[in-house]
Amino acid sequence: MIVVVGIIIQLCLGAIYAYGAVRLDISNYFKAIMAISDPATKGPTPFDMTWPFIIFLAVFALTMPLAGPYIQKMGPKKVAMIGGALCGLGWIGASFAGSPAMLIPLYAVIGGVGVGIAYGVPITCSAQWFPDRRGLAVGLTVLGFGFSSALISYATLYLKSTGMQIMNILQIYGIAFIIITVVASMYLRFPPAGWKPAGWSPPTPAAGAAQKIDFMRNEMTKTSAFKGLWLCYTIGALAGLTAIGIVGPVGKEVMTNAGMAAKDSSALVFQLILPFAICNGLGRPIFGTLTDKLTPKNTALLTYVLIIVACLLMYMSYSSVMAFVICFALLWGCLGAWLAIAPTATATYFGMKDNAKNYGLVFTAYGVGAVVGGIVSAQIAATTPVVAGATFLDAYRPFFLVVAALAVVGAVLAFMLMKPPVKKAA
């Protein structure tokens, strides 16, 4: 039930991944407002509508380390309730925004703080209740965060079909998130001191191997394992989060190059959101289990191989719908992988004594990856030369070479630095 409750809470928190599903409708709403004073307006620019998403993820990541200490002090129940309520208030606040700029304080900041407060709570609980299958438990817990985009996308489509306006839909989501997270949080709790699953004993270290020791956060930051994990997580998050953010425009370019009509390409991209979200969600328990079996380093190396293959395939086949599907399925899946690898590696390398604060700091890599990836992809798309009369669209194509190169760097860093640290004697 700890894992099930965690999945339910993460389904609400992960609605941020569905921003792309509501983005166009919100943009059209703002355009209608702007047209009242300026009938010739073109509405918000892509950059205007991208910043709320980027800032939400950045605030989310920066709040995680600040909330970590309070999970232990206040207990998981209270912290998750506060975070869930703020997450819901962020969605309600978005419904009152009259411009993209107002989305930043009303949605990105309030909602981002809420998700940042609550996100680590179910993960910490699962990691403590399941020391025997920590990777699988954590992977399953964050599965809901990955599936949320598909759930919200299809719920939005249904509510719109009933004639409901987008701002009213946002209010419904906000109210639902508050109720669901507060009720579900009542079940969260930590195991008693010294608890372990029946019939299970911690594995005995091999002869000559270093004993596992708990690291406090200030001790963790001095290790090369932390630096390697943080940098590798940044690269993995950058590749996956950017793939979520650009799936629409890249899909449009690829499908146009393949000869599809605009209406058909838009419909197909929307239909693919569900299988991509499934890849994102399933990537978490699958790679969590692999992390248990193969070690965090080897699992990280596997994700980088998949990212390189996906990006090179997309770069070389920018008019192939099949290449687009394979590439984005792999990139969304690898994002899910890193959301299981990183917390499992943190617990494995640095112990559980200060885990909430430790993973909170490691998680800032997620925010850095989101911001850097969003800015770089938008900048590449804006600066890619456009040949007059060209029939081949490739504004985002160079970005895939950049990500492939970063994945090579990540593989080298993982091989060299992602190793269990040895605590130096005082």
**pLDDT per residue as tens digits for the range 61-109:** 889 888 878 888 899 999 999 999 999 999 999 999 999 999 999 999 9
- Residue 210 lies inside a defined structural domain of this protein: no
Give the Cβ contact number of residue 201 at 10 Å: 8
Q: Are 114 and 88 in contact (CB under 8 A)?
A: yes
The pTM assigned to this predicted structure is: 0.80
More confident residue, 388 or 63: 63
Whether 287 and 361 map to the same domain: the answer is yes
Give the Cβ contact number of residue 298 at 10 Å: 14
Tokens of 137: 């438990």
Please tell me the total count of domains within the chain.
2
Whether 366 and 235 map to the same domain: the answer is yes
Whether 187 and 250 map to the same domain: the answer is no
Tokens of 88: 């819901």
Q: Any idea what the CATH number is for the domain that residue 147 is in?
A: 1.20.1250.20
Whether 223 and 148 map to the same domain: the answer is no
- Residue 198 lies inside a defined structural domain of this protein: no
Whether 154 and 229 map to the same domain: the answer is no
Whether 281 and 328 map to the same domain: the answer is yes
- Residue 335 lies inside a defined structural domain of this protein: yes
**End residue of a domain, out of 191, 223, 250:** 191
Burial of 195 (0-12, 13-18, 19+ CB in 10 A): exposed
Whether 89 and 220 map to the same domain: the answer is no
Whether 314 and 391 map to the same domain: the answer is yes
Whether 232 and 127 map to the same domain: the answer is no
- Residue 271 lies inside a defined structural domain of this protein: yes
Cα separation, 377 vs 339, in Å, equals 22
- With 80 as the cut, is the pLDDT of residue 293 above it? yes
Q: pLDDT value at position 387?
A: 57
Amino acid at 4: V
Cα separation, 396 vs 308, in Å, equals 16
For residue 346, give the nearest of 148, 68, 105 by alpha carbon.
68
- Residue 199 lies inside a defined structural domain of this protein: no
- Residue 351 lies inside a defined structural domain of this protein: yes
Q: Are 157 and 310 in contact (CB under 8 A)?
A: no
Whether 148 and 248 map to the same domain: the answer is no
Whether 162 and 75 map to the same domain: the answer is yes
- Residue 197 lies inside a defined structural domain of this protein: no
Q: If you average pLDDT over every residue of the chain, what do you get?
A: 88
**pLDDT per residue as tens digits for the range 17-56:** 888 778 778 888 998 888 888 887 888 877 788 889 889 9
* Banded model confidence at residue 422, pLDDT cuts 50, 70, 90: confident
Domain span at residue 159?
1-35+42-191
Tokens 């899909």: give the residue: 251
Q: What average pLDDT does range 165-183 have in this prediction?
A: 96
Half-sphere exposure of 188 (CA within 13 A, CB side): 33
Cα separation, 166 vs 170, in Å, equals 6
**End residue of a domain, out of 159, 175, 191:** 191
Whether 219 and 186 map to the same domain: the answer is no
